[in-house]
Amino acid sequence: MSLCYADIMPGLFDQTNIGELTEKVDPDKLLWDDAVRLFETVYMASRNLAQRTRKEYKTDVIQLAEFLQPRGVTKPQDVGLRHLQAFLAQLDSQGLSGVTRRRKTASIKSLFNFLSASSLLAHNPTQQLTPPEREYNEPRFLTTLEYRALLRACSHETRDAAIMELILQTGIRLSEATKLTTYDVELPLRINRDPTNTGKIFIRGKGRKNRTLPLNYKACRAVKAWLSARPEIAEPALFVTKFREPMGERGIQRMVQKYMSEAGIRNASVHTLRHTMATHHVVNGTNLKTIQDMLGHADLKTTSIYVSTAKEAMKRDVQDHAL
């Protein structure tokens, strides 16, 4: 590893000095180790980014440093546009998706914008850096016959049926489902088919963007059945294992895949349930902005891809069938 400020001045990165970190650094001597540490300690902390985002950003800029150092670019000051383009070209040769490469580009831009704003760079090479084009692959969704077969396959397990129905009816992400607690669910006193008699569920969304979603009759009925069977334990997680521990993402993925196989459904995953919800809402005339809010999308363009899947769904004669 290259010599860095942390080796020369061990106290530089003490928490008590965070506010003065950038002022104590000599731009001409700033190496990658310190640039990454400043990015993590000052920039990401000041932005209050979610832990997952911080981890991804740090991984991305470390990968850039590991790519450039063997090529003689030992300091951020030495980075030019051609170096960054070479890095993105290598990512493309590795088969990384456009979505992943766009995120890495955003991470790199954030690093150099931070260093430039902190007067630690003479120039910002990312100002002319163009990210890869966004890819809009058509999502896989379940047909009416497929999701009915899926629900039949898990109908004998109240917990599994509740998870399946909840994702199908609300379109929540896998990570959001694992964060749910019993305190996040509000069911009506009487559960019936009256469309105005809905429940509520609080979702801890991606990037700390929380939202509250309505629960229709089917979701309320499935969740109530599970709550009646759920063991009485101190653990607040809504969905727990037979060992009375919170279900993680892998657990839900394995469960869904098991029922997908039993129902004869191929090339589908937990995320397919989310796509199914959005597709069928478009088919049934729900406003795109409403679907965007339900899914927690930051950009309406992301939601608009379901217009094409809805057209495909209508070709399969499912437009008259609600979930």
The angle formed by the CA atoms of residues 236, 237 and 238, to the nearest 5 degrees, is 110
Does 320 fall in a domain?
A: no
Location of structure tokens 């999701």:
147
Q: At residue 31, what are phi and psi to the nearest 5 degrees?
A: -100, 170
Q: Are residues 119 and 75 part of one domain?
A: yes
Q: What pLDDT was estimated at residue 21?
A: 60
Contact by Cβ (8 Å): 289, 306: no
Q: What pLDDT was estimated at residue 189?
A: 92
Report CA 239 to chain centroid distance, whole Å.
20
Q: Are residues 72 and 204 part of one domain?
A: no
Compute and round to an integer the Cα radius of gyration of the chain.
24
The single-letter DSSP state of residue 61 is H
Q: What pLDDT was estimated at residue 59?
A: 95
Does 209 fall in a domain?
A: yes
Q: Are residues 263 and 123 part of one domain?
A: no
Does 137 fall in a domain?
A: no
Q: What pLDDT was estimated at residue 296?
A: 92
Range of the domain at 295: 144-315
Domain finish residue from 128, 159, 184: 128
Does 134 fall in a domain?
A: no
Does 322 fall in a domain?
A: no
Does 133 fall in a domain?
A: no
Q: Are residues 121 and 74 part of one domain?
A: yes
Distance CA 201, CA 213 (A): 5
Distance CA 215, CA 188 (A): 10
Q: What pLDDT was estimated at residue 252?
A: 97
Contact by Cβ (8 Å): 141, 167: no
Q: What pLDDT was estimated at residue 317?
A: 52
Query: Which residue(s) pair with 211 in the sheet?
Result: 203
Q: What pLDDT was estimated at residue 9?
A: 40
Q: Are residues 161 and 216 part of one domain?
A: yes
Q: Are residues 115 and 39 part of one domain?
A: yes
DSSP letter string, 104-171: HHHHHHHHHHHHHHTT--SS-GGGGPPPPPPP-PPPP---HHHHHHHHHHHTT-HHHHHHHHHHHHH-
Largest CA distance in the chain: 70
Show the beta-strand stretches assigned E in the chain. 185-186, 199-203, 211-215
Of 253, 323, 279, 293, nearest to 138 by C-alpha is 279
Contact by Cβ (8 Å): 6, 38: no
Q: Are residues 34 and 90 part of one domain?
A: yes
Of 256, 250, 277, 255, nearest to 140 by C-alpha is 277
Q: What pLDDT was estimated at residue 85?
A: 94
Q: Are residues 156 and 305 part of one domain?
A: yes
The CATH number of residue 309's host domain is 1.10.443.10
Does 321 fall in a domain?
A: no
Q: What pLDDT was estimated at residue 48?
A: 83
Q: How many structural domains are present in the chain?
A: 2
Q: What pLDDT was estimated at residue 11?
A: 43
What are the residue ranges in the chain where pLDDT is below 70?
A: 1-24, 134-137, 315-323
Report which residue type is found at 142: L
Q: Are residues 283 and 229 part of one domain?
A: yes
Does 138 fall in a domain?
A: no
Q: What's the whole-model pTM score?
A: 0.64
Q: Are residues 279 and 178 part of one domain?
A: yes
The CATH number of residue 76's host domain is 1.10.150.130
Q: Are residues 118 and 194 part of one domain?
A: no
Q: What pLDDT was estimated at residue 265?
A: 95
Q: What pLDDT was estimated at residue 220?
A: 97
H-helix or E-strand spanning residue 19: none
Q: Are residues 99 and 10 part of one domain?
A: yes
Domain finish residue from 98, 128, 158: 128
